[in-house]
């Protein structure tokens, strides 16, 4: 009788070979619940989150605002909970911070049934995701993003990464959470600069696949920022959920990026990493993405992919959101280096063809040096107040 699995073995001469077939599948929920972190709320934690030992990882600011409420919510649900407070900034997103989480998990005696809970922004999500994937070869990960970028982007996918030796997100993993719990009420206390940075990612996903979402941002961006996404109430909730579900719809067919390396959600992320690093991270991720989107829109217009009126709508909506559309750091050399870096990592430049639809630049030579120079000159002109005002007037003329 053949041994178990022998039907998969092949023997030819002195060579023996056996193929192992594996499965790679996962599912998780993203749940939006208002006032989820309020212990007096009647909204419970998801019933699938069975009580167990968890380590809550958060930041000093978020701990002051929501740490006690989050701890009480989990304890009332029967969890055994310990807390670790980490400074989480882009320049502290390192393997050292991951090891701090691992040491705290060991002190709290988390076993394979335990979980890490990330309560904070995108950097906190990244550190905790990498740690959760490593502890005992993988324990549970629950995300509660408290920033706009976290709620519509960084807290939704399967990836986690930290910086290493000056290289952004060099060490990382694909490790989906068990749940992502989104509470829009946490945006009330978010600094305005962070809200504006999140709007850049919202504009990105709107350009990729949701023209209605773009119109919501176009109409209400100043109110969204001023109110912490509380006003106008119905429109702000619709924008948050549309942005989150649009991102999930884009990620779902290729969650592990093992189907293709071509991703529309890479829009705004070709030039932005080098803009961030060139500024010493003084320019935030969202601000760099906004500059990248503005350049992409102008390039698309010059290449006759995008109507000039729609290009101006994009530029004006970024500016109306309080986001930069240009930086002196955005030089020809930086752009060429960014395109070369994207090519090395099999990332494609993504340009808008209309609001709600984008396309890949398949030919690396499609974006010539002369085209880049023209786009940079035009963007620099639009980058001053007069240029943006002229852009707004041009929108009106084409409406």
Complete domains list, the chain, with CATH: 29-189 (3.40.50.1970), 192-246+261-398 (1.20.1090.10)
Q: Are the C-beta atoms of 127 and 88 separated by less than 8 Å?
A: yes
The reported pLDDT for the residue numbered 2 is 47
Q: Determine the average pLDDT of the residues in 273-299.
A: 95
Average pLDDT, stretch 320-344? 94
Position 20 scores a pLDDT of: 84
- Band (pLDDT 50/70/90 cuts) for residue 344 is confident
pLDDT at 397: 41
pLDDT at residue number 40: 65
Lowest-confidence pick of 38-52, 91-105, 255-269, 292-306: 38-52
Q: Is the pLDDT of residue 122 over 70?
A: yes
- SS3 letters across the chain: CCCCCHHHEEEECCEEEECCCCCCCCCCEEEECCCCCCCCCCCCCCCCCCCCEEEEEECHHHHHHHHHHHHHHHHHCCCEEEEEECCCCHHHCCHHHHHHHHHHHHHCCCCCCCEEEEEECHHHHHHHHHHHHHHHHCCEEEEEECCHHHHHHHCCCCEEEEEECCEEEEEEEECCCCEEEECHHHHHHCCHHHHHHHHHHHHHHHHHHCHHHHHHHHHHHHHHHHHCCCCCHHHHHHHHHHHHHHHHHHHHHHCCCCCCCCCHHHCCCCCHHHHHHHCCCCCCHHHHHHHHHHHHHHHHHHCCCCCHHHHHHHHHHHHHCCCCCCCCCCCHHHHHHHHHHHHHCCCCCEEEEECCEEEECCCHHHCCHHHHHHHHHHHHHHCCHHHHHHHHHHHHHHC
Q: Is 43 exposed, middle or buried (0-12, 13-18, 19+ CB in 10 A)?
A: middle
Which of 29, 32, 7, 34 is closest to 18 using CA atoms? Answer: 7
Which pLDDT does position 205 carry in this prediction?
98
The count of C-alpha atoms lying within 13 angstroms of the C-alpha of 324, restricted to the half-sphere facing its C-beta, is 20
Can you tell me the distance from the alpha carbon of 72 to that of 60, in angstroms, rounded to the nearest whole number?
Answer: 17
Give residue 398's pLDDT: 42
% of residues, the chain, pLDDT over 90: 73
Is the per-residue pLDDT at 386 higher than 60? no
pTM reported for the whole predicted model: 0.87
Q: Which pLDDT band holds residue 163 (cuts at 50, 70, 90)?
A: very high
36-45, 119-128, 262-271, 298-307: least confidently modelled range: 36-45
pLDDT reported for residue 34: 82
Strand-pair category, 140-145 with 179-182 = parallel
Q: Do residues 178 and 129 make contact, with C-beta atoms less than 8 angstroms apart?
A: no
208-235 pLDDT, tens digit each? 999 999 999 999 999 999 999 999 999 9
Higher pLDDT, 211 or 38: 211
User: Sorting pLDDT into bands at 50, 70 and 90, what band is 166?
Assistant: confident
Q: In whole numbers, what is the pLDDT of the chain averaged over residues?
A: 90
Instruction: State what percent of residues in the chain have pLDDT above 70.
Output: 90
Comparing 127-131, 185-189, 389-393, the range with the smallest average pLDDT is: 389-393
Candidates 207, 204, 332; CA nearest to 274 is 332
pLDDT confidence of 23, banded at 50, 70, 90? confident
Evaluate if residue 376 carries a pLDDT over 50: yes
Nearest alpha-carbon partner for 218 in 340, 127, 318: 318
pLDDT of 282 strictly over 90: yes
> Which whole number is the average pLDDT over 192-197?
96
* Residue 25: predicted pLDDT: 72
CB atoms within 10 A of CB 311: 26
Question: Is the pLDDT at 239 greater than 90, yes or no?
Answer: yes
Residues 46-103 pLDDT 10s: 878 889 999 999 999 999 999 998 998 899 889 999 999 999 988 889 999 999 999 9
For residue 281, what pLDDT is reported?
Answer: 86
**What's the rounded Cα separation, in Å, for the pair 219 and 196?**
15
Count of other CB atoms within 10 angstroms of residue 17: 9
Range 278-303 average pLDDT: 95
- CA pair distance 270, 278, nearest whole angstrom: 14
Question: What pLDDT shows up at residue 213?
Answer: 98
CB-based contact 119:67 (threshold 8 Å): yes
CA–CA separation, 63 vs 57, rounded Å? 9
* CA–CA distance, 139 with 110 (Å, rounded to integer): 9
């Amino acid at each position: 009788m053949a041994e178990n699995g022998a039907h998969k073995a092949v023997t030819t001469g002195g060579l023996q070979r056996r193929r192992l077939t594996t499965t790679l599948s996962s599912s998780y929920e993203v749940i939006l619940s208002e006032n989820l972190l309020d212990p007096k709320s009647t909204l419970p934690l998801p019933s699938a989150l069975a009580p167990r030992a968890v380590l809550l990882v958060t930041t000093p600011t978020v701990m002051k605002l929501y740490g006690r409420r989050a701890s009480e919510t989990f304890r009332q649900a029967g969890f055994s909970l310990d807390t670790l407070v980490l400074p989480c900034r882009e320049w502290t997103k390192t393997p050292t911070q991951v090891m701090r989480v691992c040491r705290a998990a060991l002190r709290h005696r988390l076993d394979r049934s335990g979980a890490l809970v990330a309560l904070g922004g995108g950097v906190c999500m990244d550190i905790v995701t990498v740690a959760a994937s490593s502890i005992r070869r993988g324990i549970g990960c629950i995300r509660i993003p408290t920033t706009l970028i976290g709620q519509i982007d960084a807290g939704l996918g399967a990836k986690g990464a930290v910086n290493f030796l000056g290289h952004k997100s060099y060490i990382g993993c694909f490790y989906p959470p068990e749940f992502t719990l989104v509470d829009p009420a946490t945006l009330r206390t978010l600094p305005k600069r962070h809200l504006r940075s999140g709007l850049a990612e919202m504009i990105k996903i709107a350009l990729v696949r949701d023209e209605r979402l773009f119109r919501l941002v176009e109409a209400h961006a100043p109110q969204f920022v001023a109110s912490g996404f509380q006003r106008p109430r119905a429109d702000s909730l619709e924008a948050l959920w549309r942005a989150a579900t649009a991102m999930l719809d884009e990620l779902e067919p290729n969650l592990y990026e093992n189907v293709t390396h071509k991703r529309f959600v890479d829009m705004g992320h070709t030039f932005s990493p080098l803009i961030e690093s060139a500024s010493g991270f003084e320019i935030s991720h969202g601000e760099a993405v906004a500059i990248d989107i503005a350049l992409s829109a102008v390039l698309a217009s010059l290449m006759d992919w995008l109507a000039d009126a729609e290009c101006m709508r994009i530029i004006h909506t970024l500016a109306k959101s309080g986001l930069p559309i240009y930086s002196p750091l955005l030089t020809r050399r930086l752009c060429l280096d960014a395109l070369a870096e994207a090519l090395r990592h099999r990332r494609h430049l993504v340009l808008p063809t209309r609001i709600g639809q984008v396309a890949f630049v398949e030919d690396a030579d499609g974006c010539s040096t002369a085209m880049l120079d023209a786009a940079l000159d035009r963007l620099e002109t639009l980058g001053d107040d007069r240029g943006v005002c002229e852009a707004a007037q041009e929108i009106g003329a084409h409406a």
